[in-house]
Amino acid sequence: ISWSIKETASSSTSSLEGRDSSLQKGSSSYAAFPKQVSSYSLSSLFKGRNRLPSLQSLSDALSDTGVKNYAPELRRPKAEYKDYSNDWSPKDTVRRMQRGKVCSLERFRSLQDKLVLLDEAVAGHDGNVITAVLIFLKRTLRREILFRELEVRQVALCHLIHFLKETGEQKFLLDLLRFLDRTEEVALSQYREHLNIQDVEKRREFLKGCTGLPFSAEDISHIQDHYTLLERQIIIEANDRHLEMAGQSEIFRKYPRKASILNMPLVTTLFYSCFYHYTEAEGTFSSPTNLKKTFKIPDKQYVLTALAARAKLRAWEDVDALLTTKNWLGYTKKKAPIGFHRVVEILQRNNAPVQVLQEYVRLVEDAETRLNLATKYKCHDVVIDTYRDLKDRIQLMAYKCKVERGSAEEEKINSILSNT
Amino acid sequence: QAIVWDEYLTGPFGLIAQYSLLKEHEVEKMFTLKPGRLPQADVKNVIFFVRPRLELMDIITDNVLREDRGRSPQRDFHILFVPRRSLLCEQWLKEQGVLGSFIHREQYSLDLIPFDGDLLSMESESAFKECYLESDQTSLYHAAKGLMTLQALYGTIPQIFGKGECARHVANMMIRMKREFPGSQNSIFPVFDTLLLLDRNVDLLTPLATQLTYEGLIDEIYGIQNTYVKLPPEKFAPKKQGEGGKDLPTDPKKLQLNSAEELYAEIRDKNFNAVGSVLSKKAKIISAAFEERHHAKTVGEIKQFVSQLPHMQAARSSLANHTSIAELIKDITTSEDFFDNLTVEQEFMSGIDTDKVNNYIEDCIAQKHPLIKILRLVCLQSVCNSGLKQKVLDHYKREILQTYGYEHILTLNNLEKAGLLKLQTGGRNNYPTIRKTLRLWMDDVNEQNPNDISYVYSGYAPLSVRLAQLLARPGWRSIEEVLKMLPGPHFEERQQLPTGLQKKRQHGENRVTLVFFLGGVTYAEIAALRFLSQMEDGGTEYVIATTKLINGTTWMKSLMEKLEPAPF
């Protein structure tokens, strides 16, 4: 067995190796090009060249070392860096700015000149230059004129918006968006600001204001819900803190709150409400049924959340009541909008006793799932009954070893086996 | 001198310059950029290596203002922008009053960074967001410049194909740049025959699906940063006999992954289900190799064995590492949750039930699974349905906002803008046609010995790679109709080569195509392209370039609104 020592090359690029010597693999020797630039440019910039004017650039360092064959703009004559005259046209100004030379734009006084400059910048595609020109225009043009001109220059407009977002000039941005009638963006942009408001009361006020903004039809209901939710949370928080401190309420004594309910999502709030305020009448702000009605929480979500909360409190009768419906004849039936296997999962996670678990495992419709769950959680009765219904003697006999000797379950198995 | 690093840059720079190189150039100390006072260091010059971002300018300002001007020796400040100077940033520094403190302000054009022999990336994580949400084409400009540099080194690329708005812009910029530098015509024999520019939004589906190649899964689960991955250390603790009481390491195990490692190169692009057999075969080979020492009888044979020892030891350690990694991944891929998630993904991709609210997604929301997982799934459904019906979309939106918080309406808005989660327009679902014509879903996929690129997702062939495949053979004319259904223009450009440089391909010689993904590329797509490269009668070899290496999670994160943490 021979082990090759030479540098590993993946088979697909073996034919490239000959002409591709500078793109070698191996962690220490990547493309020669950047490496060479770094070894010359950094040192020559800082070794004994401190007295050069600040506009000296990499290219000079490179040209001195006689490195050729790089991208053309890296070897420009020194002369290009001196600002010999002030007469550069808009096109040339843009060109020079693209190459990193700082140019004074002040000489472009007329609107016409400024617009030509902007159009040249846009045509050059260099975002940096476009932004620089926009900063200049923003400073030297009246707002209405700037907005009007940008309305017909999409690319420049996008750059300005991006720039305003980055520098946080919210007011200017909103004025611009309003001018452009991009009302939904105005709304969302303003809504975003709520995240910067730490004080809850102020945030609530702010959100209230947001509900009047021109959101789209689908979004407005969510914003309204956000406001309503925070409003409710403030009330609940105030009340509950009071209750906690007074020390009279049993639930708060037994399960002290770990965090405040403020700014939590709706479902989390519902869980909290089902945990601490389950029995309250619909009239109070903190009752689960009130939350369900106000925010139109669908049944499925409601049952799931309430179930999780009551299971955590080990309130098995509440769990039972949630899953029981009464039909018009007065008969009760167990029904779960989420599938009983999910119910079992949630109960098990909260360490429900086997008798409780068993009742719901029994209700799992699919026999295989039912068997899996019953076996996993040792709900012997359910296993036995299911095998009996499936008329599976072999499995039933095999299951005998899983039950305790002399137990009621063993007897049950024996009696079934002997009766069939 | 001392360098103060923008943390984000240390990774990419690590790929091209080791600390030893910097030390040769008198760099004595290196610090990370953070607010507050700069640490003590007895150096004359302090250089800031930063990206041109305003937040970083604030930190630099803080550093500079807190500098004790009374101290001696006084330190000089310089700033190096990577990849380009930004007049906006300099303006910002000027307004803070610190611009004058910098003696040198320079830029270092690190456009395309080589990650492997056939892979280049700009590592611009905000490129997709900027291009598709904010219509900011700066990263496209950098891409064009990177391509110009590439052409200066490897010759003008004679043919340019593209699909997408951004592709069109990049091609236009390239042509214009070439025109403006007529002297750049060089005499290098072209390495690349074709350049294919692809917008990410031509194929929004692929990054959303869970990758199933070995490297793809490592990235999905642990995240590969600049070819490094950090793994939980437990499985990597050295097993020494007699040291049972030794504490397990607590620091994550950091490994570098690239094709210089022979074993990794062999398994990285395979479907994960095919990795196990490779590893066990390798284990047998290595065991047998070590056994050779018992058969070495002559001095010559022993000498030969000993000379090969380092290589064998390296191979053995490589095998141990990857066996551990494969075990870690297997724990995840065999979990019920992974299986359920994958099932739903594959249902969507094969066109099943994409028009109704999905039970599994609802269950996951109800159990408050991580939001990014939910977003990936609903976006996948939306893309596979050409947008969701109003009722379905509203239902998902409502459930997400109620469960995770209303502030996520901002993220949902971004996703809509990007085309990932939107209303179906015109009542038409184009996806089935696209899927059938381009053969995106292959039922009879062979994971062990694949014959088609669909093995990378165990059934789904990445749309982007299919387009590349069909471009080579038989050409895009055959799929005109489908191309029109995908966003953005498609085009072809030719660049003049000086006579004498025009290449005549020998019989049997492969063409070389550079595929540039504008907006990000996944490891699975890279694996698929490599698969095409090594196909017997493929005819084309591929080199891949991109603005960023992504996976569904990092991509989704870049589109999410940055939300402040809740105050209480």
Could you tell me the residue range of the domain that residue B372 belongs to?
A: 337-385+387-427
B91, B126, B540, B568, best to mutate vs chain A, most A CBs in 10 Å:
B568
Long-range contacts, B421-425 (Cβ 8 Å, 24+): B421/B375, B421/B378, B421/B379, B421/B382, B421/B388, B421/B393, B422/B382, B422/B387, B422/B388, B422/B393, B423/B387, B423/B388, B423/B389, B423/B390, B423/B393, B424/B385, B424/B386, B424/B387, B424/B388, B424/B389, B425/B387
pLDDT at B372: 96
Domain final position from B50, B77, B110 = B110
Choose one of B91, B110, B129: the last residue of a domain.
Answer: B110
**Of A60-69, B87-96, B127-136, B489-498, the least confident:** A60-69
Helix (H, G, I), strand (E, B) or coil at A249: coil
| Cβ–Cβ below 8 Å for A194 and B407 | yes
Tell me if residue A262 falls in helix, strand or coil.
coil
User: Does the residue B434 lie in any domain?
Assistant: no
DSSP conformational letter for B62: H
* pLDDT 10s digits, B32-77: 888 888 887 778 888 888 888 877 888 888 888 887 666 666 788 8
In this structure, the answer to whether residues B227 and B329 fall within a common structural domain is yes
Q: What is the CATH number of the domain that holds B402?
A: 1.25.40.850
* Of B201, B198, B190, nearest in space to B494 by CA: B190
pLDDT of A64 reads 37
Query: Are B343 and B404 in the same domain?
Result: yes
Distance (Å, rounded) from C-alpha A189 to C-alpha A172?
A: 12
Residue B480 counted as domain residue: yes
B161 with B83, same domain?
Answer: no
pTM: 0.83
Rounded to an integer, what distance in angstroms lies between the CA atom of residue A243 and that of residue A300? 31
On the question of pLDDT at B565 being above 90, the answer is no
Q: What are the start-end ranges of the E strands in B126-256?
A: 159-163, 194-199, 224-225, 228-231, 253-256
Q: Do A50 and B76 touch (CB under 8 A)?
A: yes
- Asked whether residue B329 falls in the same domain as residue B222, the answer is yes
CATH code of the domain containing B236: 3.90.830.10
What pLDDT shows up at residue A30?
Answer: 31
CB-based burial, B188-206: b 16+ in 10 Å, e otherwise = eebbbbbbbbbbbbbbbbb
B234 and B330 belong to one structural domain: yes
B559 occurs within a structural domain: no
Å between A283 CA and nearest CA of chain B: 22
Taking a contact as any Cβ pair under 8 Å apart, which residues of chain B between 199 and 238 contact chain A? 227
How far is Cα of residue B531 from the mean position of the Cα atoms in its chain? Answer: 18
- Distance between CA B373 and CA B114 in Å, rounded? 31
Summarize the confidence of residues B182-205 as an average pLDDT.
86
Determine, yes or no, domain membership for B53: yes
By C-alpha distance, which of A215, A208, A205 is closest to B413?
A215
CB distance A265 to A273 below 8 Å: no
Q: State how far residue A14 is from chain B, nearest Cα, in angstroms.
A: 10
Q: Is residue B437 part of a domain?
A: no
Assigned token pair, B220: 């999905």
Same domain, B222 and B135: no
Contact A46 B1 (CB under 8 A): yes
Identify which of A28, A97, A162 has the shortest CB distance to residue B134.
A162
CB distance B105–A20 less than 8 Å?
no
- The CATH number assigned to the domain holding B176 equals 3.40.50.1910
CB contact under 8 A, B144 and A263: no
Tokens at residue A226, please?
A: 């956000």
CATH number of the CATH domain containing B63: 3.40.50.2060
Q: Which pair of tokens denotes residue B447?
A: 């994971």
Asked if residue B436 is part of any domain, the answer here is no
Average pLDDT, chain B: 88
Per-residue pLDDT of chain A (420 residues; tens, 9 = 90+): 222 222 222 222 333 333 333 333 333 333 333 333 333 333 333 333 333 333 333 333 333 333 333 344 444 454 444 444 566 788 888 877 777 666 778 888 888 888 888 998 888 777 778 888 888 898 888 889 999 999 888 888 988 888 888 777 888 988 898 888 888 888 998 899 899 899 999 999 999 999 998 898 889 999 999 999 999 999 999 999 998 888 888 888 889 888 899 999 999 999 999 999 998 888 899 999 999 999 999 888 899 999 999 999 999 899 888 888 877 777 777 777 778 888 888 898 888 888 888 888 888 888 888 888 888 888 888 888 888 888 888 888 888 888 877 788 788 888 888 876
Provide φ and ψ at B229, rounded to 5°.
-130, 140
pLDDT at A18: 32
Asked if B148 and B51 sit in the same domain, the reply is: no
Pair B61, B146 in one domain = no
Sequence-distant (≥ 6) Cβ neighbours of residue B120 within 8 angstroms: B112, B113, B114, B146, B150, B543, B544, B545, B546
- Say yes or no: B13 and B104 in one domain: yes
Tokens describing residue B249 = 């390491």
Chains A and B form CB pairs within 8 A to the count of 244
Is residue B566 one of the residues assigned to a domain?
no
**Residues of chain A numbered 268-327 and touching chain B (CB < 8 Å):** 295, 297, 300-301, 304
pLDDT at B191 > cutoff 80 = yes
Residue numbers in B near A42 (CB within 8 A): 25
Q: How many residues does chain A have?
A: 420
Question: Which residues lie below 8 Å from residue B202, measured CB to CB, with a gap of 6+?
Answer: B163, B164, B463, B464, B467, B486, B487, B488
Looking at B110, B129, B161, the residue that finishes a domain is B110
Whether the predicted interface score ipTM is above 0.85 = no
| Residue B440 domain-assigned (yes or no) | no
Query: Could you tell me if B139 and B180 lie in one domain?
Result: yes
What is the domain count for chain B?
4
- Same domain for B328 and B341, yes or no, is no
Element (H, E) at A225: helix A217-246
B247 SS3 class: coil
**Contacts for A370 with CB less than 8 Å, ≥ 6 apart:** A361, A362, A364, A382, A386
Same domain flag for B328 and B360: no
